[in-house]
Amino acid sequence: MSLNGLVTGCNQKSNRAPVMNLTPEAVEDELIAMRERGIVAEVHGGGRVPKYRHYGYDYMGVKGVEAGVMTELLLRGEQSVGDLRSRASRFEPIADLNALQGILRALEDKKLVIALTPPGRGQMYTHNLYEADELQAIREQVDSGAWTASSPRSSPASGAASAANSEELATLKQQMAELRDLVDDLVARVAELESR
């Protein structure tokens, strides 16, 4: 990709967390740092504009479905296991949540992902490539339940109602993720039957 393409991709406003507004100079500085670490290389294809190729999957030691999971976590940040399965399945099919759990355990062994919440319904994961202070802020946000809120926090006087709403919202999100998983499984089964 060219520098302009990378800046556009970095500053994409949808399907990204956090949303960024980087300058070409900031992206170029990061490219230099990544090139020194062997994550990126400048490729010469005869054009006048320099282009860059990533070697991120090699750098992290991932491929296939592991690469899909890491890509989703890097693009969107922390996610529930259900959401992660449906999104990462766009890269490569993931049979079910148990299969994803095995993939996540392998990535945890490589120190590439971490669980933000205990195992069970709605368990949250994120990548482990954050700076220490960034990761701490994410942990605090998840611990406070802020990740489930879709609107600004309410005043302290409405704390009990807000807590009940947060719990209800979390339950609804989990149910929606489970329904997405069920629909994905049914779509895969129908596609398999149609291909016979």
Average pLDDT in the 21-28 region?
Answer: 95
Band of pLDDT at residue 21, cut at 50, 70 and 90: very high
- DSSP letters, 14-49, are SS-SS-----HHHHHHHHHHHHHTTSEEEE--SSSS
Which pLDDT band holds residue 165 (cuts at 50, 70, 90)? low
Res. 97: pLDDT tops 90: yes
* pTM, to two decimals: 0.69
- Given this model, what pLDDT does residue 193 score? 85
Share of the chain above pLDDT 90, in %: 57
Q: Give me the pLDDT at residue 53, please.
A: 95
Any residues with CB less than 8 A from the CB of 78 and at least 6 apart, and which?
17, 116, 124, 125, 126, 138, 142, 147
CATH numbers and ranges of domains, the chain: 3-54 (1.10.10.10), 63-148+155-194 (1.10.10.10)
Bond prior to 119 in cis (omega within 30° of 0): no
pLDDT at 171: 73
pLDDT, position 26: 95
Residue 156 has pLDDT above 50, yes or no: no
Over residues 72-95, the pLDDT tens digits come to 999 999 999 999 999 999 999 999
Contacts of 62 by beta carbon, 8 Å cutoff, 6+ apart = 70, 107, 110, 112
